[in-house]
C-alpha cells in the first residue's frame, strides 16, 4: 500500500516537472513572440533627401553689354529697352531726351505697376536710364541742374560704385496731383550716365478713410535703390570730376 502511494507521488511529481519543461520549450521555440519590430525608415538606402527649392528671386537684372552696364530692379516692374512704346505718366521718349539734351541715348525704362501701392493715392512712377557720350564732366552736371521751368530745385549727391552722381529734384502740383521728378547725372568712362525718376500721387486721400495718402518721397527713394544698383561690367577709366573708389 505504501509502495502504491509512493508510485502515485512520483508520477505526479514527474508530470508537473515535465509540463514545466514543455512550457519553457514553447517559449524558446518562438523567441520573437512578444518582441515588437522596429518601424521601417521612410527613407530607403537608395533614397536621398531632397532640398527645398528656393523661392523665386524678387529682382530681375537689366543688362546692356554694348555699354557695359547692368541694373537690378523689382521683378514686377515693367521693363522697356530703348524707345518706350507707351509714354504714360512722366515717361519721356527718345526724342524727348534728345530735345532736352542733344546726344542723349535712352537705354531703359522701368515702370511701377499700378497696383504696387494698393488703397493709396499713388498714380504712377517710373525710372529711366540714359547715357550721353557727347558731354564732358562739367557739362554733365550743368545740364542736370538747369531748369527750363524756372522752378526751385532741391539738389544733392549720391555715390554709386565710386562714381559721384549729382541730383536735382523738382516738385509740381496740377489738378490735384503732385509730381516729383528727380534727375541724376554722373560722369564715368568717358560718358555722362543719367537717371530720370518720376512719381505722381494724389494730393488728398478719400474722406471715407479707405484710401491713404501715398508718400511720393518714399517711392522716389525706392526708385533710387534701382539707380544705386548700377554696375559697370567694363573697366572704368577715372576721369576728371569722377570720385575714385576707396
Write out pLDDT tens, residues 187-201. Answer: 998 999 999 999 999
Which range of 9-18, 22-31, 85-94, 160-169 scores highest in mean pLDDT? It is 160-169
Q: Which three cell numbers stand for residue 44?
A: 530607403
- Among 7-16, 60-69, 225-234, the range scoring the smallest mean pLDDT is 7-16
- Please report which confidence band the pLDDT of residue 46 belongs to, taking 50, 70 and 90 as the band edges: very low
10-38 residues labelled b (16+ CB within 10 A) or e (exposed): eeeeeeeeeeeeeeeeeeeeeeeeeeeee
The superfamily (CATH) of domain 59-232 is Mog1/PsbP, alpha/beta/alpha sandwich (3.40.1000.10)
Query: Does residue 165 surpass a pLDDT of 60?
Result: yes
Residues with Cβ within 8 Å of residue 157, at least 6 apart in sequence: 164, 165, 166, 167
Q: What is the pLDDT of residues 135-150, one digit of tens each?
A: 999 889 886 765 555 5
Give the model's pLDDT for residue 44: 47
E strands, the chain, where?
59-64, 69-74, 78-81, 104-111, 122-132, 154-160, 163-174, 177-188, 191-202, 231-232
Distance (Å) of CA 99 to CA 94, 102, 205 = 9, 6, 36
pLDDT on residue 26 = 43
Please name the residues in contact with 62: beta carbons below 8 A apart, sequence gap of 6 or more.
70, 71, 72, 73, 79, 81, 108, 110, 129
Q: How confident is the model at residue 161 (pLDDT cuts 50, 70, 90)?
A: very high
80 bridge partner residues: 109
- Whether pLDDT at 127 is above 70: yes
pLDDT band at 175; cut points 50, 70, 90: confident
Give the mean model confidence (pLDDT) for residues 120-142. Answer: 93
Out of 51-55, 98-102, 209-213, 239-243, the most confident range is 98-102
DSSP class of residue 232? E
Average pLDDT, the chain: 78
Is pLDDT larger for residue 152 or for residue 33?
152
Could you tell me the residue ranges of all domains in the chain?
Answer: 59-232
Amino acid at each position: 500500500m505504501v509502495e502504491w502511494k509512493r508510485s502515485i507521488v512520483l508520477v505526479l511529481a514527474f508530470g508537473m516537472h515535465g509540463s514545466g519543461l514543455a512550457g519553457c520549450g514553447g517559449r524558446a521555440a518562438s523567441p520573437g513572440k512578444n518582441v515588437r519590430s522596429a518601424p521601417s525608415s521612410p527613407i530607403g538606402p537608395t533614397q536621398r533627401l531632397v532640398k527645398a527649392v528656393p523661392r523665386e528671386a524678387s529682382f530681375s537684372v537689366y543688362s546692356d553689354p554694348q555699354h557695359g552696364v547692368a541694373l537690378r530692379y523689382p521683378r514686377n516692374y515693367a521693363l522697356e529697352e530703348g524707345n518706350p512704346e507707351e509714354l504714360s505718366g512722366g515717361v519721356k521718349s527718345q526724342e524727348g531726351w534728345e530735345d532736352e539734351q542733344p546726344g542723349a541715348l535712352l537705354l531703359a525704362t522701368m515702370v511701377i505697376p499700378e497696383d504696387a501701392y494698393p488703397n493709396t493715392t499713388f498714380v504712377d512712377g517710373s525710372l529711366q536710364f540714359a547715357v550721353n557720350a557727347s558731354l564732358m564732366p562739367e557739362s554733365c552736371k550743368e545740364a542736370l541742374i538747369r531748369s527750363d521751368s524756372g522752378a526751385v530745385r532741391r539738389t544733392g549727391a549720391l555715390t554709386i560704385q565710386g562714381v559721384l552722381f549729382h541730383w536735382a529734384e523738382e516738385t509740381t502740383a496740377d489738378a490735384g496731383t503732385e509730381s516729383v521728378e528727380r534727375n541724376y547725372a554722373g560722369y564715368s568712362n568717358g560718358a555722362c550716365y543719367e537717371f530720370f525718376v518720376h512719381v505722381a500721387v494724389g494730393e488728398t486721400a478719400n474722406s471715407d478713410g479707405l484710401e491713404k495718402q501715398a508718400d511720393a518721397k518714399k517711392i522716389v527713394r525706392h526708385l533710387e535703390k534701382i539707380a544705386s544698383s548700377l554696375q559697370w561690367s567694363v573697366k572704368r577709366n577715372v576721369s576728371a570730376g569722377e570720385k575714385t573708389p576707396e
